[in-house]
C-alpha cells in the first residue's frame, strides 16, 4: 500500500532506524512494495506472509480496519475461511433497515444446522459517527442477535465509502439522522470473493440461501 | 545522531518544496453555500474552502505514478480495484498512447483515489466538484447564464474530446481549467448518487424514494447538463473505467 501523506511523521519516526535513503524514498515518493514488486520492505513482507493466498477479486485485499460491536479492532481478512452474508445498514434507520435485518434473520433460519458454524452474518454501518460499539451492541441486543454469528462493524467514513464502492452499495446522508441507501445483501465465499447479491427489500431469498448452502461446509 | 538530523533536514526541505510546488498547481476555491441539483429536499449545501488541481491529471503524471507504485501498473493491478478497461489504450505498463498532456483516462475510482492519496491529496466530493464547476470565466455561479450551459451542452455533443490536451478550455473564476470541455471526472463520493435502477426493485412503501425523486427533485429542471453528470456517476462502479472519465485531486486548507 502506498503510504498516505498524513502518516508521514509517524512513518518517519518509525523508520528512522532504517537507512536514510530507504527512508526518504519511502516517505516521499509514496512508493511501496506490491506483492509482485521485488523491493519488498520489511513490514509488508511480514504482512503478506500472514495472509493465506487470496485471489484478485477478494475483499481481503482491502486494508481497512473495523471495530466490532464489542469494541474489538479487526481487519476484514480475519473473517477469511467463513462464508459471509453481508449487508450495509445504520441503526437509527426507520424504514428499510429493520426489513433488511429481518431478511438476514430469515436467511439464517434456512441454513441447515450442520452448516451454521461456517457462516458469518455481517452488518456494516454506513453511519459510523452515530453507530458506536455501544450503539451496535444495543442494536444487536434489541434484535436478539447476540450470538457470535452476528457481527456488527463500524469503520472510518473513508473505509466505509470504499467498502460500499466494492459492494456497489450507494448511500447518501439525507438528514442528520437519515440515509438513503441501496438494499443489497451480498454473499462472499471463504476466500472473500463476491458470489451472489440480492437486491431489494423483502424479495425472495431462495437464491441467496442456496448460494450460502452451496458454499458452506 | 548527526545522520538523523541531516536526514530530517533533507526530508523536510524536499517536502517543503514539494508542498509549495503542489500549491502552485492548485487553486483556491473559496467555498460557500449552493443549491445542488439533488439537494436533500431543496436544501442548500455548505461547501468549505478547499484547494483544487488547476488541471486534470495527465498521461505523463499518471505514468510517473504507476512507475513509483508498481501495483497500479496495467499488468499488476488486481481486478477488485480495476476491471479490464483499466489503461486499456496503453501499449504496455509504461507506454501510454496519445499526448503526454492529455488527461489520464480509463482509470478506476480506486486508482484515482490512490493517486491523490500519494500526492497528499484526495478526490473531490461531488459537492466540491459541482461547486467549483458552476463557475464560468467571470462569475462563481454561472448556472443561469445561457452561454455557460450552451458551452457544456455543445461539449457533450463533441466526440473524443478526451484526446485533447489539458488547458484548452476556459480558465474559470477560480483559475481552474477543464472542469467542462475535456473529460468527466471521478469524485470521492460518486456512489452517493441514488438514481440507479436497483431502487425500483424495492418493495418499499415509498418506491419513489430514489427513482421518481430523481426527476422531480431536480432543483432546477433546466439543468440538464448537471443531470447528465449525476446520471453518469450513478451508473459507474468503483472498478469501472472509461475513456471519457479522468480525475483531478483536491486538498483541504491547512489551518
A7-11, A162-166, B78-82 — which is least confidently predicted? A7-11
In this complex, the residue of B109, B121, B202 whose CB is nearest that of residue A165 is B109
**CA-based nearest distance A150→chain B, Å:** 24
Q: What is the pLDDT of residues A82-131, one digit of tens each?
A: 999 999 988 888 777 788 899 999 999 999 999 999 999 999 999 999 99
Domain limits, chain B: 2-252
More confident residue, B141 or A182: B141
CA dihedral B67, B88, A186, A179 (to 10 degrees): 80
Q: Which CATH class is domain B2-252?
A: alpha beta
C-alpha–C-alpha distance, residues B200 and A93, integer Å: 19
ipTM of predicted complex = 0.71
- Chain B residues with CB-CB distance to A16 below 8 A: 4, 7
CB < 8 Å to B8, chain A: 12
All three cell numbers of A111, joined, read: 441454513
Indicate whether A45 pLDDT > 70: no
Non-local CB neighbours of B23 within 8 Å, separated by 6+ positions:
B51
At the fourth CATH level, which superfamily is domain A59-215?
A: Glutaredoxin (3.40.30.10)
The three-state secondary structure class of A53 is coil
**A46 pLDDT band (50/70/90 cuts)?**
very low
Model confidence over B93-143: pLDDT tens digits?
999 999 999 999 999 999 999 999 999 999 999 999 999 999 999 999 998
SS (H, E, C) A114-133: HHHHHEEEEEEECCCCCCCH
Q: What is the pLDDT of residues A49-76, one digit of tens each?
A: 445 678 999 999 988 899 999 999 999 9
A160 → chain B, closest CA residue: B189
CB contact under 8 A, B7 and A166: no
Q: How confident is the model at residue A169 (pLDDT cuts 50, 70, 90)?
A: confident
Domain regions of chain A by residue span: 5-50, 59-215
Smallest CA–CA distance from A61 into chain B, residue: B80
Closest approach of B198 to chain A, Cα-based (Å): 7
Amino acid at each position: 500500500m502506498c503510504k498516505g501523506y498524513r502518516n508521514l511523521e509517524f512513518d518517519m519516526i518509525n523508520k528512522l532506524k532504517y537507512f536514510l535513503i530507504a527512508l526518504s524514498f519511502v516517505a516521499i515518493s509514496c512508493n511501496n512494495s506490491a506483492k509482485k514488486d521485488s523491493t519488498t520492505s520489511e513490514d509488508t513482507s511480514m504482512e503478506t506472509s500472514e495472509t493465506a493466498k487470496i485471489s484478485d477479486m477478494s475483499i481481503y485485499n482491502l486494508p481497512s480496519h473495523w471495530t466490532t460491536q464489542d469494541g474489538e479492532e479487526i481487519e476484514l481478512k480475519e473473517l477469511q475461511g467463513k462464508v459471509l452474508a453481508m449487508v450495509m445498514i445504520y441503526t437509527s434507520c426507520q424504514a428499510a433497515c429493520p426489513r433488511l435485518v429481518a431478511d438476514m434473520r430469515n436467511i439464517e433460519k434456512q441454513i441447515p444446522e450442520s452448516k451454521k458454524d461456517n457462516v458469518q452474518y455481517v452488518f456494516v454501518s454506513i453511519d459510523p459517527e452515530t453507530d458506536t460499539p455501544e450503539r451496535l451492541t444495543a442494536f444487536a441486543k434489541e434484535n436478539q442477535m447476540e450470538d457470535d454469528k452476528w457481527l456488527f462493524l463500524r469503520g472510518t467514513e473513508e473505509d466505509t465509502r470504499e467498502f460500499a464502492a466494492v459492494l456497489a452499495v450507494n448511500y447518501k446522508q439525507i438528514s442528520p439522522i437519515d440515509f438513503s441507501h441501496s438494499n443489497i445483501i451480498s454473499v462472499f465465499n471463504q476466500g472473500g470473493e463476491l458470489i451472489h447479491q440480492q437486491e431489494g427489500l423483502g424479495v425472495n431469498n431462495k437464491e441467496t440461501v442456496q448460494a450460502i448452502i452451496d458454499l458452506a461446509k | 545522531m548527526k545522520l538523523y538530523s541531516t536526514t530530517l533536514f533533507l526530508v523536510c526541505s524536499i517536502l517543503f518544496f514539494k508542498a509549495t510546488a503542489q500549491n502552485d498547481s492548485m487553486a483556491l476555491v473559496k467555498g460557500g453555500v449552493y443549491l445542488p441539483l439533488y439537494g436533500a429536499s431543496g436544501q442548500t449545501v455548505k461547501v468549505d474552502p478547499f484547494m483544487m488541481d488547476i488541471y486534470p491529471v495527465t498521461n505523463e503524471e499518471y505514468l510517473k505514478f504507476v512507475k513509483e507504485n508498481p501495483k497500479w501498473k496495467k499488468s499488476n493491478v488486481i481486478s477488485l480495484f480495476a476491471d479490464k478497461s483499466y489503461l486499456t489504450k496503453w501499449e504496455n505498463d509504461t507506454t501510454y498512447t496519445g499526448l503526454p498532456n492529455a488527461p489520464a483516462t480509463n482509470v478506476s475510482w480506486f486508482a484515482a483515489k490512490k493517486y491523490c492519496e500519494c500526492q497528499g491529496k484526495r478526490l473531490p466530493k461531488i459537492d466540491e466538484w459541482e461547486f467549483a464547476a458552476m463557475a464560468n470565466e467571470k462569475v462563481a455561479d454561472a448556472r443561469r447564464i445561457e452561454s455557460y450551459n450552451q458551452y457544456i451542452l455543445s461539449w457533450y455533443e463533441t466526440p473524443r474530446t478526451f484526446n485533447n490536451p489539458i488547458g484548452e478550455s476556459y480558465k474559470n473564476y477560480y483559475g481552474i481549467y477543464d472542469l467542462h470541455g475535456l473529460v468527466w471526472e471521478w469524485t470521492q463520493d460518486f456512489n452517493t448518487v441514488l438514481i440507479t435502477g436497483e431502487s425500483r426493485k424495492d418493495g418499499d412503501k415509498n418506491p419513489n424514494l430514489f427513482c421518481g425523486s430523481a426527476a422531480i427533485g431536480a432543483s432546477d429542471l433546466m439543468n440538464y447538463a448537471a443531470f447528465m453528470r449525476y446520471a453518469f456517476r450513478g451508473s459507474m462502479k468503483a472498478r469501472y473505467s472509461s475513456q471519457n472519465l479522468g480525475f483531478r485531486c483536491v486538498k483541504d486548507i491547512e489551518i
